[in-house]
Structure 1
Amino acid sequence: MSSSIQSKKILIGVTGGIAAYKVAILIRLLIKQGAEVKVIMTTSALDFITPLTLSTLSKNPVLVDFFDRKSGEWNNHVELGLWADLFLIAPLSANTLAKLAQGQSDNLLVATYLSARCTVMVAPAMDLDMYKHPSVQQNFDTILRHGVTILEAGTGELASGLHGQGRMMEPEEMIDKVSISFRSQMDLKGKVFLITAGPTQEAIDPVRYISNHSSGKMGIAIAHEAAERGAKVHLALGPTNLKIVHPNIDVIPVVSAQDMYEAAKAIHPTACCVVFAAAVADYGPAEVSSQKVKKSGESLTLTLKKNVDIALTLGRSKQEGQIHVGFALETENEQENAIQKLGKKNFDFIVLNSLQDKGAGFKTDTNKVTYFFKDHTSLVSEVLPKREIAKQVVDLIKTHLDKQEQI
């Protein structure tokens, strides 16, 4: 019997989808491991599995509406949210995902979600084109920023007959994820992280600037992963349209490379780990015009000066026991350049992105990376959602921190 699940209060939310039949197996496994389980269903879920089945397995009444007309009792969504140690929504439909992302509360399940103070996990299940649709992916990013853990759908044959990503994670694997979550919750509590993310903008004049295509998604995902595990995160964030909502994340908005350096330098002495994920402009205009530069002639010569190398500069003042993690985005001689930066900038490990790899790079929701370590070993990831890469990065940081504490 799993000690991490034993006696835990787990609230299961079931939405409409053919994968709802798997919830019966999930509840049975949770009960077998000693959890106390309650179930909320949406009205759409009633078309796929009966409340009688789930109430029999959970040994608790299944709740659907705010008001139970048979008993005359009010189902208090606030009390349900406070009761649970974990709220697991499985399957999660695209419709309910949109409601979670937008903060709607037109049914008991989503109202309880808005009241929950515990860890929230979701196990999406939908057809592959729905799953990959930009609006659905945007909603996933939104709930991720709100602190929700996403149990990525698997790849296989779908109810439509198509083959691709969209199958709800199997109950046995979900049990493993739940168990790991309870074991790892707050494993970074008391730790202070400094993370740089996003682009910088180097002003030419009041209306123009030099920048790059970074969205900040990778650095923000790492910030959320660390915050979810209890770390206090200071996020020096360049200009981006992404919103960050998490009580453990202190967002420090910056614009230029110098702004980011000043913000990072102020936090650096107190941080046990620094992740340099920002795409900082290497050069900026030598002179910034106070007025808009007018068009004249067939060409314009712009003189650039080198910006401060934040990772290199702070690497020179790295303290004993402090972990520094770098990122390298390369288009040629990728490994050689990354390994050179690893030593030159005093990183404990570096994460290489290659624009030659499909699914990696700026603005994508996925990434493929190679990790290079000081002991000359390396590790290559598959193409994964950036939130999964973030988990890998934070897991590696935790391993390094544990080793430092053992010294």
Structure 2
Amino acid sequence: MRYFIIAGEASGDLHGANLMRAIKKYDPQAVFRYLGGDQMASVAEGLAMHYRDTAFMGLDVIWHLGKIIKKINFCKKEILAFQPDRVILIDYPGFNMRIAKFLHTNGIKVYYYIAPKAWAWKKKRVYDLQKYVHHLYVIFPFEVEFFRQYGISVSYFGNPLVDAIHHFQQQKTDRNTFLSQYHLPDKPIIALVPGSRRSEIERILPEMIRATEKFSDSHQIIITGAPAIEPKLYEKILGHRQIPVIFNATYQILSHSRAAVVTSGTATLETALIGCPQVVVFKTGWFTYLVGRPIVRIRFFSLVNIIAGKEVVKELLQFQLPERIAAELDRLLHDQEYVNQMATEYCLITHQLGTSGVAERIAHHLIVVGR
């Protein structure tokens, strides 16, 4: 069969690549066309557009609206020309919900993988999913009941990060090999994970760097580089500071770190599944913050705490971030009882997310069952 897939950011590229591998197991003759990234391109030919050209958030969407509309129109034309048997939209709701409406209008079934977080904000998207999506694959167990009450056809086969972490654990390098590979000193590591989008990196990474200055003598600070971001951006932010930026090794870095400062998003859950103690931070533009604050309906903003239903990791938002990050890092590095409790909660979260083989289960349903 012919599969058109849209994954508009780094996490979607990862899950799209794993899903494509699984599809090929059930359908060896599969032909793909996709908006994605390097990981999907490593699985099969068919890249129509790289996600780095579409990764905008907050007010950036307004400033780049003309460009985004052009990309949406490009995808519409590509889909019609490709004549797919399956269209799979992965996360990225601001873009993909517009595509879903177009596909529904043209009589093309939509399979949506990783649902918009309508249970947290923009609840009206539930009604768009109801109208435009043939089947929804969710990645958190509590989402099934939420979407099903609106009459949406929905399945939960586990969380795809379980697959990603399982694959990583099978090829993880030991600490000495890691330090040697990147020419690092034998010091405890603090990982800075500033996100995958340019705008969030520009806002949050400077705060992270200032927060870790007091630890730089006793610890090795490492920044995880986002695959679609050019090194020059990090160099500009770092200035004269000698902090290594390592690309395509986030899981390795986290697995060897004593603590991590993580921008809110998928990376917080990845950090938990790997087992690294963390503090979660987020900072957006002032206007976005003022507009968004009244409409967000959840107690927590990190996936770790949302899944646990309580505070497992400290969340720091918007204000006085360097001082607050530094204080929490102190606790993560020196309060072993606190870290042990976090590790226990991490185990409970991992259990909730199911076993590996998520992509294979979704692929089987997509091809064989969910017609």
Fold equivalence (TM over 0.5): no
TM-score (norm 1): 0.30
Q: Greater helix share, 1 or 2? A: 2
Q: Greater strand share, 1 or 2? A: 1
The structure whose RCO (Cα within 8 Å, separation 6+) is larger is 2
